A = this chain, B = another copy of it.
Amino acid sequence: MAYETAAPMLPAPSGDTLAKFAAIVGEKYAVSDADAQGQEPFLTEWRRLYKGRTPLILRPGSTEEVSRILALAHETGTAIVPQGGNTGLTGAQIPFQHEVLVSLGRMNRIRSRDPRGNSMVVEAGVTLAAAQKAAEEIDRLFPLSIGSEGSCQIGGNLATNAGGLQVLAYGNARAQVLGLEVVLADGRVWDGLRALRKDNTGYDLRDLFIGSEGTLGIITAAVLRVLPRPKSKATAFVGFTALEQAARFFDLALEMSAGELTAFELMPRIGMEFVLRHAPGSRDPLGTVFPWYALIEVASQREDGAAETAEALLTRGVETELVADAALAASLQQGRDFWHMREAMSEVQLHEGGSIKSDVSVPVADLPEFLRRATDAVLAIMPDCRPVPFGHYGDGNIHFNVSQPVGMDKAAFLARWDDFTGAINAIVLEFGGSISAEHGIGRMKRELLPRVKSPVEMEMMRAIKRAIDPKGILNPGKLL
């Protein structure tokens, strides 16, 4: 393996090349920069952290069109940025110079569904919500679930190995995939649409493409595994007097209900206050104030099984003095209300001024110590900043966000972004953790990557990139 850095940006495509690209998808589905309004939804990231530009957006309608686009890109040395629902949080889906944007949204067919085989074949542009619904219609569960599920697309979910709210029981996006169809950097199509539970015939190419953020190929379709739908579900909101109690209650929950425990989401009091203040219709599920809360969900194949398990768990939690107070949802609506508290927690931070984001993980058992140390570290930088660490406790994955001090200038606070994330990441690395547990690297953390990975790991990744995309046309300047 040679020691090389990522490929430099490729030259801008000529007008002639752009015309050839447009001809592949047809005029109706080629949006040039002459149409700024038409391009707008593809170039603005929802938090407005990134604003992209591109000479041309292509909206192919078939794998064959994607194949022809990449063959032409390969031939002409044109940089390509693939895009799903444009909900990514690290800028991976945004073109920044003259890359041609390929939006997969028109490829939104459910190709087939097999309830007995517990699988379905969907195209990249199917939204996550539509995939969930397609599974429900055949009485099955597609367990991937994330906040943006109404607009994010399966292709993007797989390209970024999305995580979300049910990873604890069902795994990341990676775990939901049996097979892939991928268009390679030179336009060739890899038909890896296998629906097998076991297949030991060669290298695991599937998992190489999953999480590669569009830098190795464009995923155009996938065989997704689906599951029998749970027969019962129970949702509980739990208050803790200290973080260590939450941690020990999580151990207990795993012990008593591993396999049925589908969520263990941590929330701090300040996050609850933000939600109560800004999210319409929100209300505190518990009568008393606690420093920490968890939303817990249990699912079971047994009728009434989930409620039994959750009740037994809460009872034992109270007996062992880990749980200070708890509410078990008495209705589906109340369960949704509990989830609303958790799901609103990202968005409400916008209403409290500047918010510095992070998405880190450490080994689960180290979370309490990590949270204490990271809290100390950000308060040392700015004593009146407001840490809002919340998220997927059961996966060891916390969004350690920091809201600005009340009354501070927002821009002045956000100017300290790297100071805060740098301090948090330094502690993450001491625990052998990840600086991007679920959001990926994209453009946001690209420069950070060589600082947290060993040279040998960076070189392996670059060697693979060169082997699979030798001209470096796929999503240049992202990830690597």
Contact = CB atoms under 8 A, between A and B. Distances in A.
B202 A449 contact: yes
A200 B457 contact: no
Interface string A434-465: 11111111000100010011101100110110
24 contacts: A116-B251, A161-B204, A169-B259, A174-B204, A190-B457, A196-B363, A196-B437, A197-B361, A198-B392, A198-B396, A199-B434, A200-B211, A200-B439, A200-B440, A201-B434, A201-B441, A203-B216, A204-B212, A205-B460, A205-B461, A256-B302, A259-B259, A463-B467, A463-B468
Interface string A418-444: 000000000000001111111111000
Copies in the complex: 2
Contact of A365 (B116, B163, B258, B454): B116
Contacts of A192: 457
Among A394, A456, A479, the most chain B Cβ lie within 10 Å of the Cβ of A456
A17 interface: no
Contact of A118 (B254, B457, B461): B254
A358 interface: no
Contacts of A479: 202
For chain A, give the interface size range: 35 or more
Q: Which 4 A-B pairs have the closest CB atoms?
A: A116-B365, A117-B365, A467-B467, A199-B434
B437 A198 contact: yes
A316 interface: no
Given A200-B441, A202-B461, 8 more contacts: A118-B365, A160-B200, A169-B259, A172-B198, A190-B454, A190-B456, A196-B363, A200-B439
Given A363-B117, A365-B116, A456-B190, A203 B211 contact: yes
A397 interface: yes
Interface of A: 1, 114, 116-119, 160-161, 163, 167, 169, 172, 174-175, 184, 186, 188-205, 207-208, 210-212, 216, 227-228, 251, 254-260, 301-302, 309, 361-366, 392, 394-397, 432-441, 445, 449, 452-454, 456-457, 460-461, 463-464, 466-468, 470, 479-480
A432 B464 CA distance: 28
B301 A259 contact: yes
A397 B205 CA distance: 21
Given A255-B228, A392-B198, A205 B362 contact: no
A460 B198 contact: no
Contacts of A440: 200-201
Contacts of A470: 1
B167 A197 contact: yes
A257 to B, nearest CB: 6
A420 to B, nearest CB: 19
A456 B186 CA distance: 11
